[in-house]
Chains A and B, each alone.
Chain A
Amino acid sequence: MKLKKEKSKLVFPDLSSIPCIDKVGVEERVARFQTRSIKDASKEQALRMVLNMIDLTTLEGKDTPQKVKQMCYKAMHLHDAHPGLPSVAAVCVYPSMVAVAKKEVQDSGVKVASVSTAFPSGQAPLSIKLEDTKFAIDEGADEIDMVISRGKFLSGEYQYVFDEIAAIKEVCGKVRLKVILETGELITLDNVRKASEIAMYAGADFIKTSTGKIQPAATMQVTYTMLCAIKDYYHKTGIMIGMKPAGGISTAKLSIHNLVMVKEVLGSAWLTNEYFRFGASSLANDVLMQVLKTETGIYQSADYFSID
C-alpha cells in the first residue's frame, strides 16, 4: 500500500547504515536470473507485459513535432496487423515536445513523460531546473523524468542532491517523478545504492537508471542493486517505489530477464506499469517480433514492422 508522503517529513537517509555492495555476489545473482527456463505460455504473457511497460522514447536534438506525432501513433498502435496488443505505458519526450505529444495521445491511456532539469547533463542552476519542470507540467506532462546532479554527488554534496530532488518533487505535486541516477557516471555499485537511497528519501516515485546518453546504461547489475534498495525502503517505510531501467535494453530476451529479476527481488506487486517501466526506443519492435514468433512459429523480419 502506498502511503502519502508529506514534505515536512522528508528525512535525509542515514547513509552510514546502508549495506555495502558485494560486486561478485551481484554478478552471480544476476547471472542466475538469466538461466530461468520460461515456458511458451508464460513467455507470451511476459512479452505482452513488456509491451505495456515500455516508455517509448525519443530524446534527440533533431526531434521534430512530426517525429513525435509519429511516435505517439506508434505508442497507441503498436502493430495494427495483429489485433489485441496492448499499448505502451507512456511516451517520453523533451519538454518542448510535451504539448505535441499530449495532443496526440489525449485520453488513450498512454501517458506523456517529460525529461527535465536540464536533461541529460543536469548542469544548470536549480532555478532553471525548477522552471524547466514547471514548463513541462504546464504543457501537460503526466510524469517527470529528472536527472540528479552527478557532479555534486561525486564530490560528496549529498545534501545538495537530496534537496534538489525534494524541490523538484514539490513542483511536481501529484505528477509522478522519476529520478534518473545516470548510473554510468556513478562508477561503483555502492554509489548507485547511495544515490537510490537519497532519491527515494527525497520523494522520488520511481528511480531510473540512465538517460540513455551514457554507456554503460541499464545493466542488470545496476538494476538489481536499485531493486534491492527499493525492497529495503519498502520494508522500512511500506512505500512502493517504482523502477525504470533505461538504455541498452533492446531485445525481448533481455527484457524478460529483467521481469524475472523484478519478480524474484520485489515480487508480483511490482509487475505492472505503475511500478516498473522500460525506457527504450527500439525494444518494442523486437518484442513485437517475438510475440508473432511465439504465435506463428515463424521468425520475423524488421522489414514488416513500422520503425516508429
Chain B
Amino acid sequence: MRLEILKTYKLFIGGQFPRTESGRYYPALNKKGEVIANMCLSSRKDVKNAVVSARKVQLAWGEKTAFNRSQIIYRIAEMLEGRRDQFISELVKQGISKNKAEEEVNLAVDRIVYYAGWCDKFAPIFSSVNPVASSHFNFSALEPMGVVGIFASETSSLIGLISLILPVIVGGNTCVVLASESLPLCAVTLAEVINTSDVPGGVVNILTGKAGELASTFASHMDINALFYAGSDEALLSELQQKANSNLKRVYSYTYDWGSEKGQDVYIINDFQEVKTTWHPIENVGGASSNY
C-alpha cells in the first residue's frame, strides 16, 4: 500500500510558490459540500507582495519584442497541453462532467494560441497616424497600462481565468490575479504551467482567497493601474469603482460567458492599453503636399 500524496495548493508570487503570509486557509468544497483541498486565504500583505513583484518586472515584460512575447505565450499552451489530464481531473473534482472538462481544457489551449497570435498584431490595428492641420506627423501608439488587478470569474475555474489573464499579458501588462473563491484548484495548477513556460517570474501572480475581503486593497492600491472584474456582484463592482479613483485606475467589468466564442476578443487586449499620441514636426520638403 502506498501513502497518498496530496497536493498542497499554494500562492504564486514573483515566480515563487509561497504560502499566504497570514497563515490562514479555507476549504474548497465540491458540489456535494465535501472538502477537496485547503486553499490559502490571502491577506492584504500577499496582495502587496504580489504587486511589488508585478511592478518590478513590468517594464522588462512590456519592452520584450512582440514576437518574443508571442513565443512565450505559445509556450504556455504547449505546457498546458502536456498537463491536460491533471486539469481535467481537477475540473471533474470541482463538479463538472468528464466531457465538459475535456472541452474546457481544449478551449483553454486554443484560446492561449489565439492570444499568442495577437501579440504582434493588435498594435498595428489599434494604432493610427492621424490627420492634422499643421506640419506634423501625428501618431497614436499603444502602451501597456502597467499592473492590472484581475478578479477571475467565480463560475468558471479554468477558461474564466485564462480568458482574463491572456489579453492582459499579451499587451505587455503584468497582473495580480485573485482566483475564483469556490473553484480555485485550476488556478494554482495554471500557475505551475506558467512557471514552466518561460514567462518571467512576476508577470502573472495568482492569489486565492475571498474577493470581498481583498477588493478594497486592490482598488485603493496606488501601484495598480487597472482592474479587470469578471464577477456579477454589483455591490463589489461599485466598491471597486469608488475606491479606484485614488489613482484613477481604469475599471473594466465583463459579464461574458467565457466558454463561448465571445470570450476571446482582441478588443479586450485594447482595453488594457493606453493610447499615447505624439506630435512630430516635419518640414514641408520640396513643396510636396501631404495630408499628414
Show the binding face of A for B, using Cβ within 8 Å: 297-304
Contacts and interface: CB of A to CB of B under 8 A. Distances in A.
Interface string B219-247: 01111000000000000000000000011
B223 A302 contact: yes
B247 A301 contact: yes
A299 B48 CA distance: 7
A308 B88 CA distance: 52
Contact of B221 (A298, A302, A304): A298
B197 interface: no
Best-surrounded residue of A297, A299, A300 (most CB of chain B within 10 A): A299
B223 A301 contact: yes
B51 A299 contact: yes
Nearest to B45: A299
A300 B51 CA distance: 11
17 contacts: A297-B220, A298-B220, A298-B221, A298-B222, A299-B44, A299-B51, A299-B221, A299-B222, A299-B223, A300-B222, A300-B223, A301-B221, A301-B223, A301-B247, A303-B222, A303-B223, A304-B247
A303 B145 CA distance: 13
A303 B246 CA distance: 13
B89 interface: no
Interface of B: 44, 47-48, 51, 55, 217, 220-223, 246-247
A304 B225 CA distance: 13
B291 to A, nearest CB: 37
B246 A298 contact: yes
A301 B47 CA distance: 14
B57 to A, nearest CB: 14
Contacts of B223: 299-303
Contacts of A297: 220
B279 to A, nearest CB: 24
A145 B246 CA distance: 43
B220 A299 contact: yes
Best-surrounded residue of B217, B222, B246 (most CB of chain A within 10 A): B222
Contact of A301 (B44, B217, B222): B222
Contact of A304 (B44, B47, B217, B222): B222
Nearest to A297: B220
B249 to A, nearest CB: 11
Contacts of A301: 55, 221-223, 247
A271 to B, nearest CB: 27
A298 B47 CA distance: 12
Contacts of B221: 298-299, 301
A118 to B, nearest CB: 35
Contacts of B44: 299
Nearest to B222: A301
B261 to A, nearest CB: 37
B53 to A, nearest CB: 13
A300 B220 CA distance: 9
Nearest to A300: B222
Contacts of B48: 299
A298 B246 CA distance: 9
Contacts of A302: 55, 223
B68 to A, nearest CB: 26
Nearest to A304: B222
B130 to A, nearest CB: 28
Nearest to A251: B52
Contacts of B247: 301, 304
Given A298-B222, A301-B55, 4 more contacts: A299-B44, A299-B222, A303-B222, A304-B222
A303 B220 CA distance: 15
Which 9 A/B pairs are nearest by Cβ-Cβ distance? A301-B223, A301-B222, A299-B221, A298-B220, A300-B222, A299-B48, A299-B222, A298-B222, A298-B246
B52 to A, nearest CB: 9
Contacts of A300: 222-223
A298 B243 CA distance: 10
B21 to A, nearest CB: 12
A96 to B, nearest CB: 32
B32 to A, nearest CB: 39
A302 B223 CA distance: 7
A101 B222 CA distance: 33
A301 B149 CA distance: 14
A304 B51 CA distance: 16
Contacts of B220: 297-299
Contacts of A299: 44, 47-48, 51, 217, 220-223
A299 B51 CA distance: 10
A302 B221 CA distance: 12
A299 B214 CA distance: 13
Best-surrounded residue of B48, B55, B223, B246 (most CB of chain A within 10 A): B223
Nearest to B247: A301
Contacts of B55: 301-302
A300 B221 CA distance: 6
